[in-house]
């Protein structure tokens, strides 16, 4: 059982173990250094920590991996956020002439939060999630991943489970990190289809011509819609939810459907009736371009992003591999190849992995211990690698490793291209 | 602007190089000597042109036929370049195309000096220059448009015919008003999405692998953004080197006259000359009222009350400086009501 009975009160005891023996510092440092191509990239990165008793400290920065480790082991943060790479070391920002301390670069990030879907999910609300509504995250990841790769040409995307009720995406390409505020907000708006707040009934409006991006997204939504919305969420079952669905339709269609639904109680057949009616109205109408059925599918399933998270270059976002204090779950990278089987309730908690550490070790472990006595520093790292490999964290660190490998290969390719251009053999 | 020692002897071929396109981004400042008279004339005429651009833009829909006709007429009368081909010889009794382009170049830079100093001046100048540029770019043939792009390092490639064919459906559905035929006919440019943010944000363009596929009639938006960014940066730089220029006594009066001439709306609409309005009273009382009146005003504001004599004196003064009867009533009523005098009673007081 993955839960292993996580109790937030144990956090002060578990976190030191996590930071000393399990947090993947060397991969983390490797990620944020980006191959050392830009000078001081790691040193000028802002981190923020939330310490015990909700004490929040910003503008933390570190000069080496070792310093990062020591500080985290000393301060034992409950939450870790990653900010931008600044013009100077964030820890020295007060010493810099006012106006010259600026955020220069940061990954392009997206935050999908399940609470933003509360008006369209019936199974849970607020911070709760379940296997039924988790499909929304799967849909969101598929749509956004495709668009960011195919439309925008990005290659290095890290999808991370937030630990409770959502997912984050870190777009780490060089070009992405250099994007301006205007560019980030343009990308986020391109990806947004849901407009309107609580009072708006019809949140998606489609008109001719339908942009290829919307068509691609509809293809994804259509794959999941019947099982997710009609069966799991049962949006055409009870009167209350039927009314909500019909509320976005024009009067004439609404009336016809209300009548047909009196005789037809099967939700799947009701959906078919709705689609047929919309199709008929469309072919009769001179205006054309009436896509009410598609609009409903999008309203219930399409990803809802918070543009503000993506816009700011200096926006701080929860770090991968940090712990969620309320659930104890580690913010782990998501392997897109296994997306269909990803289960947020199987993500290891800090209590689980600390417990797994205590299990009796295999024989080879004792030999390794002998080698360790010879070289202390490397020993620390080797021990840490052996340690996490014995826990459920292992497979997630592997996903992270593969992500880092891909970036390293791509950097090498770029350098070769550059030196070829310069005729530098 | 630099005035190097000797006037450059311009030979035929280099003449053509310098102004080989009727449109330019004004990247390089002119490097020659000109007379003060020419300096002044060029500047004033360009200012007239920009002012016309502003007026016509207000009176007609931008880029409509009437707009274009009016602007074209102004171009000719002020001798600014429009033709895309450089004539070889001087036109009989007229000014050569080359001369017009030279004037365009020099006058732009002169006006930069005059309009770089304040945010308002810069904004106005950039707005008119952009409208002007948009009009002139729109008048170019597609070939000249592509020429212009390449000459100015906007290395946007055109999309090959095969690629257009394979993407035909996608291209049709991503921009409004395109059909299968127009997609085949029109040139499409591949522009990195970062240079086409307005089109990306509103999803009005097809995106693939980080490139926006822009039909040639939309390319002007991209070019304009680039133009605005460059001009904005240049003006900021010009403002920094302005003190040097202003120290030249010959130029200083001309430049300040130019920048005070046509700027925004406030100067062209004569609002209440010789009269004041309610909002101005507080500000003026500190600066321009005679001391006795200032004292009365202050007392009124502090006590929300003035005695009969004071009301008569101050009331007559306000009438004299141009406050209308309605405004006067409003003024007194608002002040006395604060002093908890019944609004109706105020009427009796005046």
Q: Between chains, do B194 and A179 touch, taking CB under 8 Å as contact? A: yes
Q: Residue B263 has what pLDDT?
A: 45
Q: Residue A313 has what pLDDT?
A: 96
Give me the DSSP letters along A336-358: GGGGGG--GGGSPBHHHHHHHHT
CA–CA dist B185, B179 (Å, integer) = 10
A111 is catalytic: yes
Q: Cα distance from A177 to chain B (closest Cα, Å)?
A: 13
| Average pLDDT score, chain A | 91
Profile chain B (350 residues) by mean pLDDT over runs of 10 residues.
40 51 82 85 87 83 78 78 55 67 88 86 90 85 78 79 88 80 82 91 94 85 85 89 78 78 46 66 84 89 87 87 81 78 64
Helix (H, G, I), strand (E, B) or coil at B189: strand
Q: Is the pLDDT assigned to residue A243 strictly greater than 70?
A: yes
Please write the tens of the pLDDT for every residue from A33-54. 999 999 999 999 999 999 999 9
Q: Residue B26 has what pLDDT?
A: 84
Smallest Cβ–Cβ distance between B197 and the set A153, A186, A213 belongs to A186
Q: What counts of helices (H) and strands (E) characterise chain B?
A: 17, 4
Q: Which residues of B touch A180 (CB under 8 A)?
A: 194
Count of C-beta atoms within a 10 Å radius of residue B321: 15
Q: Is the pLDDT assigned to residue A424 strictly greater than 80?
A: no
Q: Cα distance from B177 to chain A (closest Cα, Å)?
A: 9
Q: CB distance from A345 to chain B under 8 Å?
A: no
Smallest Cβ–Cβ distance between B170 and the set A154, A187, A212 belongs to A212
Percent of chain A with pLDDT over 70: 92
List of domains in chain A: 8-189+305-361+375-422 (3.90.920.10), 197-301 (no CATH)
CA–CA dist A335, B305 (Å, integer) = 77
Q: CB distance from B193 to chain A under 8 Å?
A: yes
| A122-136, A363-377, B286-300: least confident range | A363-377
Smallest Cβ–Cβ distance between A152 and the set B173, B206, B207 belongs to B207
Q: Residue A385 has what pLDDT?
A: 73
Count of C-beta atoms within a 10 Å radius of residue A22: 23
Q: Residue A376 has what pLDDT?
A: 66
Average pLDDT over residues A135-141: 97
A46 is catalytic: yes
Q: CB distance from A187 to chain B under 8 Å?
A: yes
Angle between helices B97-115 and B36-59 (to 10 degrees): 80
Domain ranges of chain B: 7-140+223-261, 148-218, 278-349
Question: Is the bond leading into A137 cis (omega within 30 degrees of zero)?
Answer: no
CATH 1.20.930.80 describes domain B7-140+223-261: yes
CA–CA dist A253, A256 (Å, integer) = 5
Q: Residue B7 has what pLDDT?
A: 37
Q: Residue A373 has what pLDDT?
A: 60
Q: Residue A364 has what pLDDT?
A: 55
Q: Between chains, do A182 and B197 touch, taking CB under 8 Å as contact? A: yes
Give me the DSSP letters along B22-75: S-----S---S---HHHHHHHHHHHHHHHHHHHHHHHHS-TTSHHHHHHHHHHH
Percent of chain A with pLDDT over 90: 73
Q: Between chains, do A190 and B203 touch, taking CB under 8 Å as contact? A: yes
Q: CB distance from A183 to chain B under 8 Å?
A: yes
In contact, B56 and B259? CB cutoff 8 Å: no
Q: Between chains, do A152 and B210 touch, taking CB under 8 Å as contact? A: yes
Q: Which residue, chain included where needed, has tokens 């849909």?
A: A139
Report which of B48, B104, B52 is spatially closest to residue B81, judged by C-alpha positions.
B104
Closest residue in B to A150 (Cα) is B209
Q: Which residues of A touch B203 (CB under 8 A)?
A: 190, 211, 213-214
In contact, A173 and A106? CB cutoff 8 Å: no
CA–CA dist B63, B56 (Å, integer) = 10
How does residue A4 score in pLDDT terms, banded at 50, 70 and 90? Answer: low
- Which residues 113-152 in chain A show a CB within 8 A of chain B? 150-152
Beta strand A157-161 with A103-105: parallel, antiparallel or unpaired?
Answer: unpaired
In contact, B106 and B42? CB cutoff 8 Å: yes
CA–CA dist A186, A198 (Å, integer) = 24
- Which residues 202-221 in chain B show a CB within 8 A of chain A? 202-203, 206-211
Q: Which residues of B touch A214 (CB under 8 A)?
A: 203
Report which of A46, A15, A12 is spatially closest to residue A32, judged by C-alpha positions.
A46
A113 is catalytic: yes
The catalytically annotated residue of A69, A105, A111, A232 is A111
């Amino acid at each position: 059982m993955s839960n292993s009975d996580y109790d937030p009160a144990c956090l002060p005891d578990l976190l030191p173990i996590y930071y000393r023996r399990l947090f993947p510092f060397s991969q983390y440092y490797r990620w944020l250094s980006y191959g050392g191509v830009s000078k001081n990239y790691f040193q000028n990165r802002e981190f923020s920590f939330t310490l015990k008793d909700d004490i929040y400290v910003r503008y933390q920065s570190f000069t080496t991996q070792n310093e990062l480790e020591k500080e985290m082991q000393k301060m034992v943060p409950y939450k870790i956020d990653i900010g931008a790479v600044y013009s100077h070391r964030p820890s020295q920002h007060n010493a810099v002439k006012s106006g010259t301390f600026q955020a220069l670069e940061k990954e392009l990030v997206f935050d999908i939060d399940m609470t933003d879907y509360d008006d369209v999910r019936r199974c849970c609300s607020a911070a709760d999630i379940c296997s039924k509504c988790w499909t929304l995250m799967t849909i969101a990841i598929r749509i956004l991943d495709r668009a960011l790769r195919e439309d925008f040409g990005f290659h290095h995307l890290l999808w991370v489970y937030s630990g409770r009720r959502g997912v984050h995406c870190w777009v780490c390409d060089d070009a992405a990190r250099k994007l301006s505020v205007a560019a980030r907000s343009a990308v986020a708006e391109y990806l947004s289809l849901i407009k309107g707040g609580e009072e708006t009934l019809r949140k998606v409006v489609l008109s001719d011509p339908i942009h290829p991006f919307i068509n691609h997204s509809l293809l994804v939504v259509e794959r999941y819609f019947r099982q997710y919305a009609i069966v799991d969420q049962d949006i055409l079952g009870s009167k209350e939810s039927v009314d909500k669905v019909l509320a976005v339709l024009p009067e004439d269609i609404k009336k016809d459907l209300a009548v047909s639904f009196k005789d037809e109680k099967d939700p799947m057949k009701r959906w078919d009736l709705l689609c047929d009616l919309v199709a008929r109205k469309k072919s009769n109408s001179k205006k054309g371009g009436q896509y009410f059925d598609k609009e409903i599918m999008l309203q219930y399933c399409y990803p809802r992003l918070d543009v503000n998270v993506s816009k700011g270059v200096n926006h701080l976002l929860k770090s991968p591999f940090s712990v969620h204090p309320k659930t104890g779950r580690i913010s782990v990278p998501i392997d897109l190849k296994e997306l269909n089987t990803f289960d947020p309730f199987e993500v290891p908690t800090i209590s689980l992995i600390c417990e797994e550490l205590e299990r009796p070790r295999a024989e080879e472990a004792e030999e390794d211990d002998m080698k360790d006595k010879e070289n202390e520093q490397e020993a620390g790292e080797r021990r840490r690698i052996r340690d996490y490999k014995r826990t459920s964290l292992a497979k997630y660190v592997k996903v992270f490793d593969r992500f880092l490998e891909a970036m390293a290969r791509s950097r090498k390719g770029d350098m070769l291209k550059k030196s070829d251009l310069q005729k530098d053999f | 602007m630099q005035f190097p020692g000797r006037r450059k002897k311009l030979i035929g071929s280099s003449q053509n190089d310098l102004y080989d396109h009727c449109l330019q981004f004004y990247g390089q400042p002119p490097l020659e000597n000109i007379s003060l008279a020419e300096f002044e004339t060029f500047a004033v005429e360009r200012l007239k042109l920009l002012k016309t651009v502003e007026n016509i833009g207000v009176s007609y829909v931008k880029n409509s036929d009437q707009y274009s006709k009016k602007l074209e007429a102004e171009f000719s009368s002020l001798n600014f370049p429009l033709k895309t081909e450089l004539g070889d010889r001087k036109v009989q009794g007229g000014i050569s195309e080359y001369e017009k382009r030279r004037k365009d170049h020099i006058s732009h830079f002169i006006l930069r000096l005059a309009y770089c100093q304040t945010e308002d001046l810069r904004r106005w100048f950039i707005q008119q220059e952009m409208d002007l540029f948009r009009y002139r770019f729109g008048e170019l043939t597609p070939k000249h448009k592509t020429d212009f792009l390449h000459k100015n390092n906007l290395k946007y490639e055109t999309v090959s015919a095969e690629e257009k064919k394979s993407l035909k459906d996608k291209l049709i559905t991503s921009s409004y008003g395109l059909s299968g035929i127009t997609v085949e006919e029109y040139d499409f440019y591949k522009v990195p999405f970062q240079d086409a943010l307005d089109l990306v944000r509103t999803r009005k363009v097809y995106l693939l692998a980080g490139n926006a596929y822009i039909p040639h009639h939309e390319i002007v938006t991209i070019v304009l953004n680039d133009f605005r960014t460059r001009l904005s940066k240049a003006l900021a730089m010009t403002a920094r080197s302005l003190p040097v220029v202003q120290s030249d006594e010959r130029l200083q009066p001309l430049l300040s006259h130019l920048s005070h001439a046509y700027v925004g709306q406030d100067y062209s609409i004569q609002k209440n000359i010789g009269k004041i309005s309610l909002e101005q009273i507080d500000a003026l009382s500190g600066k321009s009222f005679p001391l006795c009146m200032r004292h009365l005003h202050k007392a009124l504001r502090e006590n929300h009350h003035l005695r009969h004599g004071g009301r008569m004196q101050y009331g007559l003064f306000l009438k004299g400086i141009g406050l209308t009867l309605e405004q006067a009533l409003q003024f007194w009523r608002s002040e006395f009501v604060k002093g908890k005098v019944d609004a109706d009673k105020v009427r009796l007081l005046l």
